[in-house]
Amino acid sequence: MIRTYLWVLLLVLAVSTGCGAAIVIEDAFCRGGQVFLHWADPDTQYIRYHIYRNSSVIDDNSISQAQLIDGNVPLNSAKDAAATSAAFRRGEPDPDRGYRIFDLAEPLDKRDGLKVITVDAPADRYYAVVGVNSDGTEDLNIVVGQNSLSSAIHETSGNAVPVLDEKGVQNVSGYDYPWETYTWFKRNDESLFDGEATKITITLPKPNLSGKYATMLYLHAINGTNRIQPWWNLIIISPMDCSPNLPHGGNSWWYGYCSTYPSLSGTVINYTENMLLHMLGWAKSSFPIDEDRVTVSGGSMGGTGALSFGLRHPELFSSICATVPQVNPGLPDIGWSQTQLRNIWGSLAANLPSDEGVGVWDRQNSTAYVTNHPEDIPFIKVQNSKNDDTLKWFQVPQFYYNLNENRHAFIAAWGQGGHVNSSSGLPPEYTGFDVYTKIKRSQSYPAVSNSSSNNNPGNGDPSQGDSVGQMNAGYDWQIRTATATTWVADIKYTVSGGTPTADISPRRLQQFDFASGDRLAYILTEIATGQVIAGGYVTAQRGRFVTVPNIPFANEYRRLTIRKTSGQTIPDLIAFDEDADVDLDEIIITAVFADAAYACSEKRVPAVALLGAHGFEVGDSISLRGTKTVFGGMVAVNVSQFTTVSPSTNTIRPIGSPGLDGSHGRPLQLGVLVKVWGRVLEDDNFVIDSGSGPIVIYGGYGVKPAVGTYVAATGICSEMQSAGVQYGVRVRDAQDIISF
């Protein structure tokens, strides 16, 4: 009996001391700022593993000084859990295989162990893997060269490098679309669970790429997955939002979750957004992506994530394309999605802090964000359904209104297609707009708002407003000029027969620069004829932002020009030296003669003569450039360039004057539109007695009132002789003389 007991004891000791030696580390290396540690232990009796790290070799004597990196590594951690999750979401059988840790290599044995660790600092480090017995005790039998590294891993920080898992080609209508799927091992700022894996698929537009390509970062709906997405002339980046440690299928709604999960008492970290940032950076370094044309797109949960992520990264995205998104998940009665989110974000009442300085539920409110952030955001294309029972309509209209009121660049549409078929029946001016290739991050574009062709989304009640409609859709444009002083765009309305009006706010200005309160001139012209359709002046509401209101459009391109005004005034011009450069704005034509035209500001005094230019009409508001000169004793401009900002709508009333007194020098009214009156003294020269002295009335008026009659004459106060000794009123036409 004693001998049997001793034999059993020896067997137990042999097993307990031999288990550590049965763990064999087969791969240990650093790649893309992550340490990969792979071991085999096929006949294990352990319940889990512990990972230790040290700056020197870990053996029986030094294990007590080593750092415990992970105290809960499960058995069979080399099984590709990301592939299992993706297959489950697709309704496919579990591939039931191990991860690949080298590009296109054989998968690991699914029974093996794998731990991926984010490098926290460059160093040379040693690792050991020890087992945990069923009673919770560690088996600290260390065998250097087996379950403990005999050589250090040279750890370096760096950008993530995923592992190429599969590749292939999908043929669609005779065209080949290559694709590549990678395993992405998450870093410690991308997941609470360091090394947790997901998948990402890249689909290319053709086998032989040349040049750069517009790109879509596609975010799937709830319980979706990475997928192959052939798209003409577009690169598609398709990641998977999956964390098996989270509830409800492991979805984070493309944002993140509480840092103390499953306890909901800490800070909500945007882990998944960090992952997307790193994925996009890797993709840009690995594929021919045009960084000026990257759109973040998605539907449902993906549309929600596209807005939440894209709004905060205008430096990355040219546009956002959101289909049936949730725009304010914290609203009462929002439904099932809020219930799910409370399990990873905490309650609405707690409003746990996010790592961005605001409560997480406030952070997710895109409706408030577009009001609180008037700065440029990516162009938005967004659609919803009034009969959506999944992410309900009542939250949507205020989002549209806030976008419109804050002059953001967007088009929106809604219909009756439900949550899944929301594109069904939408206006073609919306569905046909190619946001992916049209919008560039490095090019400005007109933000349309308050279009008179807009439909009414109502107040959130699906029965109110138009059942199908759009906002600010149907416009197309080409940017012609974008300099420091001028912005020019050709804009048209594409819906046949439509002639709407709309407000235009140039957005994402590149060179065009101005400050809050600056006065800007605008003009809308027919391109073919140069005819002025509308024009005027507007004041910048803030730096680099201005809105031109109520512009009329048609089915042909019209040219909208907005330019900075110089700030020069006619009094400034008087003080200039001869031949100085002149840049005047907001001057109004008061008279046009064969040799000169006259103009003044709305203040009317002083005036300026304009030489060498034709095409003015009385009442035109113009901007001009040229050089200073003198004409008829008054300040003048040799005009080299002018623009009629507003045609013949700014009639200046004349200044009443009893006489032109030049006895003490030139009259103050010289060049100004004046009105004088009196009795006719001479008919040959048409001189009147104003009661303050004689005044000569001259010009091509074609009438001569009889001597003794009383007249009123409107015209330009002008010097009649080069010596400047006599002044008169230069009448524009016969209508400027009224007899009593």
DSSP for 197-266, please give it: EEEEEEE-S-SS--S-EEEEEEE--TT--------TT-EEEEE----TTSSGGG--TTT-EETTTTS--S
Q: Using pLDDT thresholds of 50, 70 and 90, give the confidence band for residue 18.
A: very low
**Gap between the terminal Cα atoms of the chain:** 147
H and E: helices and strands count for the chain: 11, 39
Please give the share of the chain, as a percent, with pLDDT higher than 70.
Answer: 95
Bond preceding residue 606 cis, omega within 30 of 0: yes
Choice among 323-337, 430-444, 610-624 with the minimum mean pLDDT: 610-624
CB neighbour list of residue 229: distance below 8 Å, 6 or more residues apart? 201, 203, 218, 236, 238
Q: Using pLDDT thresholds of 50, 70 and 90, give the confidence band for residue 700.
A: low
pLDDT in tens, 662-671: 544 466 678 9
Residue for token digits 């009196």? 678
Q: Using pLDDT thresholds of 50, 70 and 90, give the confidence band for residue 35.
A: very high
Q: Using pLDDT thresholds of 50, 70 and 90, give the confidence band for residue 724.
A: low
**Separation CA 584–CA 639 (nearest Å):** 10
Residue type, 343: N
Q: Using pLDDT thresholds of 50, 70 and 90, give the confidence band for residue 722.
A: low
What is the model's pLDDT at position 20? Answer: 45
Please give the share of the chain, as a percent, with pLDDT higher than 90.
Answer: 77
Confidence check: pLDDT of 419 > 60: yes
Bond preceding residue 462 cis, omega within 30 of 0: no
Q: Using pLDDT thresholds of 50, 70 and 90, give the confidence band for residue 118.
A: very high
What is the model's pLDDT at position 660? Answer: 67
Confidence check: pLDDT of 638 > 60: yes
Average pLDDT over residues 203-225: 96
- 477 by Cβ neighbours in 10 Å (0-12 / 13-18 / 19+) ranks as middle
The backbone torsions φ and ψ at residue 617, rounded to the nearest 5 degrees and listed phi first, read: -125, 145
pLDDT in tens, 357-402: 899 999 999 999 999 999 999 999 999 999 999 999 999 999 999 9
Choice among 14-28, 102-116, 692-706 with the minimum mean pLDDT: 14-28
Task: Answer yes or no: are the C-beta atoms of 307 and 267 closer than 8 Å.
Answer: no
Choice among 95-99, 448-452, 470-474, 645-649 with the minimum mean pLDDT: 645-649
pLDDT in tens, 257-313: 999 999 999 999 999 999 999 999 999 999 999 999 999 999 999 999 999 999 999
Confidence check: pLDDT of 1 > 50: no
pLDDT in tens, 156-190: 999 999 999 999 999 999 999 999 999 999 999 99
Six token digits for residue 299 = 């539907």
Average pLDDT over residues 328-335: 94
Give the containing element (helix H, strand E) for 315. Answer: none
**Separation CA 359–CA 349 (nearest Å):** 10
pLDDT in tens, 125-163: 999 999 999 999 999 999 999 999 999 999 999 999 999
- Domains belonging to the chain, first-starting first, are 18-77+112-155 (2.60.40.10), 163-466 (3.40.50.1820), 482-564 (no CATH), 570-646 (2.40.50.140), 655-739 (2.40.50.140)
**Most confident listed range (325-334, 685-694, 716-725):** 325-334
Confidence check: pLDDT of 8 > 50: no
Q: Using pLDDT thresholds of 50, 70 and 90, give the confidence band for residue 727.
A: confident
Q: Using pLDDT thresholds of 50, 70 and 90, give the confidence band for residue 703.
A: confident
Length of the chain: 740
pTM of the predicted model as reported, rounded to 2 decimal places: 0.88
**Separation CA 613–CA 625 (nearest Å):** 11
- 347 by Cβ neighbours in 10 Å (0-12 / 13-18 / 19+) ranks as exposed
Q: How high does pLDDT run on average in the chain?
A: 92
What is the model's pLDDT at position 666? Answer: 61
What is the model's pLDDT at position 9? Answer: 35
